[in-house]
Structure formats: structure tokens, C-alpha cells
Chain A
Amino acid sequence: AQKVTQAQTEISVVEKEDVTLDCVYETRDTTYYLFWYKQPPSGELVFLIRRNSFDEQNEISGRYSWNFQKSTSSFNFTITASQVVDSAVYFCALRESARQLTFGSGTQLTVLP
């Protein structure tokens, strides 16, 4: 069965520090998709990125970057030069052949001024 593990429950950093959020997944499928979502205090899940299992290229979008490694079943998320507005809960999610998402338990990121 599919599973997503986010071992870091809470992380606290000072503004402008870099921070990496870890995500490890388990799946038996060869075709799958990985996602990261942000959930600010307002509660709405905001889509950040989607990767498919055949594309291991790392991706950078502004201050955000993602490192996908199939060899270690990891899909880690790095925020460079963090800002207070980055404070939120971040979820990693997996989709296999079924269409629904399987989420990790989330990482609460607090960026202090």
C-alpha cells in the first residue's frame, strides 16, 4: 500500500535561513505522481508542485526547489532565504493509479523574524 512519511513534525528557523522539508514515500507502482501543498493558517491547501515518476530532474521556482530521488524514494523541498510568509504546514502527497492523493502528516514550518 502507498504511504508518505514526513518525519519532521515541526521546524523553526530564523528569517533568511534555508530550510529543507523531508518527504519519503512508499509505492509498488512504477507510474506515480508526487505533490507538495502548502496549508497556511487560513486552511486552504495551495498547490506548489507536481512531479511524475519518470522525471527525476530537480526543479527550482524562485526561492523554492525540489529534489526527487527515486533511489531513496524521497522528494524533498527546500526553501532558500526563508521569509515569515513561508510559515505554514507543508504536505507531501502521492498519487498512484487511483486518482486520490495520499498525504503525509505534514510539517509545521515557523519562520521567525
Chain B
Amino acid sequence: GAGVSQSPRYKVAKRGQDVALRCDPISGHVSLFWYQQALGQGPEFLTYFQNEAQLDKSGLPSDRFFAERPEGSVSTLKIQRTQQEDSAVYLCASSSTGTGRNEQFFGPGTRLTVL
């Protein structure tokens, strides 16, 4: 079956522009996560959804970052007024249940470059 997909794969934005990054999780997966991966670093947690509920957004670096998952499936991560420090790969992952036991399946990521 299809894995996690993300679009666009690459995004170049001018500083100050708004961007929207999309994640299509594996069908039927309850949990959805967003991570930010800076160059040469491990992914860092941004936010977590269980179905349509955003249960944890403690990793969002500022109020310019906003995520939604209105129907409990596709999710969008929006970054307003992008800054150069927002340049990173944004990874989406999904998991079949809401427990902590199951592995997370990752998408290919969106590489965001802010000029």
C-alpha cells in the first residue's frame, strides 16, 4: 500500500512569505506527527495529532507555525512570515494507533529553503 506522502518535496520561499506544507498519512492511521530536521541534525518534534485533535503542539518554535488536520486524515503545516532560520526539512510521520507502542512511518519530507 501507499506510504506517507508529502508535498511539495522542495519549496523555496522569500523571507516574509507564507508557506503551506501538506502531509498525506497512511490510510487509517490515527496518529500524525510533524518533525523539523535541520541540516546534519536529528528530527525534532513539532506537533502531534490523534485523529483531528491536536494533542501536543509543544514543539512549535513560534506562533508563526500552525498545523491542522481538520478531517483526521490530511494535515497541513503552515508557516507564516518565513524566516531564514525556518530553512529545514519538514518530516511527517503517521502511526496506526494512538498508543506509544507502534512505530512511526515517515514521509520523504519537504525541504524548505528561505532566502
Residues of A within 8 A of B (CB): 4, 33, 35, 37, 42-47, 50, 52, 91, 93, 95-106
Contacts and interface: CB of A to CB of B under 8 A. Distances in A.
B105 A99 contact: no
Given A45-B93, A100-B56, A102-B45, 14 more contacts: A43-B89, A45-B43, A47-B103, A97-B100, A98-B56, A99-B31, A100-B33, A103-B42, A103-B43, A103-B44, A104-B42, A105-B41, A106-B40, A106-B42
Contacts of B55: 99
A37 B107 CA distance: 13
Nearest to B107: A44
B54 interface: no
A61 to B, nearest CB: 14
A91 B105 CA distance: 14
Interface in B79-115: 89, 91, 93, 95, 98-101, 103-109, 111
Contacts of B103: 35, 47, 50
B48 interface: yes
A43 B37 CA distance: 10
A54 B68 CA distance: 35
Interface in B18-55: 31, 33, 35, 40-45, 48, 55
A105 B100 CA distance: 22
A33 B72 CA distance: 26
Given A100-B33, A101-B104, A43 B109 contact: yes
Given A35-B103, A42-B108, A43-B89, A99 B56 contact: yes
Contacts of A93: 42
